[in-house]
Amino acid sequence: MLELLTSKTLVADGAIGTELLKRSNEKFPEILNFTNPQLVESLHIDYTNAGADIITTNSFGANPARLKSTKINIYELNKTSAQLARKVNLSNKLIFGSVGPSGLKPGDEEFKKLADYYFEQIRGLADGGVNAILIETMIFIEEMKIVCEVARNVTKLPLALSMSFHKTKNGFKTYAGVDLKIAVKEMLKLGAEIIGANCGNGFAEMVDIAKNFKSITKEIPVLVKPSAGTPRKINNDLIYPDTPETIPEFVRKLVDIGINIIGGCCGTTPEHIKVIRKIVDETAQK
């Protein structure tokens, strides 16, 4: 897999959670793996048809901290998410098992349970047949370290570590205040096969974040999955400013920077991924 990452730019899929929320009334989109698997499959198919090389499981918030009110089987939920992604998988597609943050802070009493929480999630994804574990949208170094350690103990699958940053007057930081350069160095220390950034405030900002990553390391494959900007609520609908029509110039810059995996996060759709696919293919032909 790593040889593939260094030989060409791969296209990842777009948002899973925000798209499933648009297509259903379910409060927790991960539960749709059990209650409406056909809907989850259809989204994976849409992203596959849009040209994604990498399909992400519907498991971002499938951990006990986020789903404690549901009393659901975490292991089976994650295993099913991987199986659903594999079910629609075509040849030469990669399945990344999504592991999102718990929503807990390092000072919380429940934070001490994180290793147990993530054990069931990652075990389920691995047993379901993913090709890599994607630990994404992290804002605390402490949590990222715990998840990474659990993943290394559970599986030999490659790890992708991705943190979420926003621009401040003192540069890019996570929403917990971790400086980007410190975050990248910590990711490298953890020995991840892929590092990167996701979510944040849109494609333009992600270009600057990507430049920062590449200025620190050129050896490790870098993944970026920007959100479609900061949404506004109009008539009870969330409207994202980064439409498929507005992103081409930023996608070209990401390709020029040398980013290895480009996809989308909150608010992005199969239409966004079609644009990314088109630009990546055009660049490869030059």
Rounded Cα gap, residues 222 and 207, in angstroms: 12
Rounded Cα gap, residues 28 and 269, in angstroms: 19
Rounded Cα gap, residues 16 and 52, in angstroms: 13
Rounded Cα gap, residues 155 and 132, in angstroms: 10
Beta partners for 223?
A: 196, 261
Written as one string, the DSSP assignment of 208-264 is HHHHHHHHH-SSS-EEEEE-S---EEETTEEE-S--TTT-HHHHHHHHHHT-SEE--
Q: Does the CA dihedral 3-199-52-242 come out positive or negative?
A: negative
Would the annotation count 199 as a binding residue? yes
Would the annotation count 148 as a binding residue? no
Beta strand pairing call for 171-174 and 222-226: unpaired
Q: What is the CA radius of gyration of the chain?
A: 17
Give the 3-state secondary structure of 94-106: EEEEEECCCCCCC
Three-state SS at 219: coil
User: Closest by alpha carbon to 159, among 190, 116, 182, 189?
Assistant: 190
Three-state SS at 34: helix
Would the annotation count 266 as a binding residue? yes
User: Closest by alpha carbon to 254, among 4, 10, 53?
Assistant: 10
Binding residues: 199, 265-266
Binding residues for Zn(2+): 199, 265-266
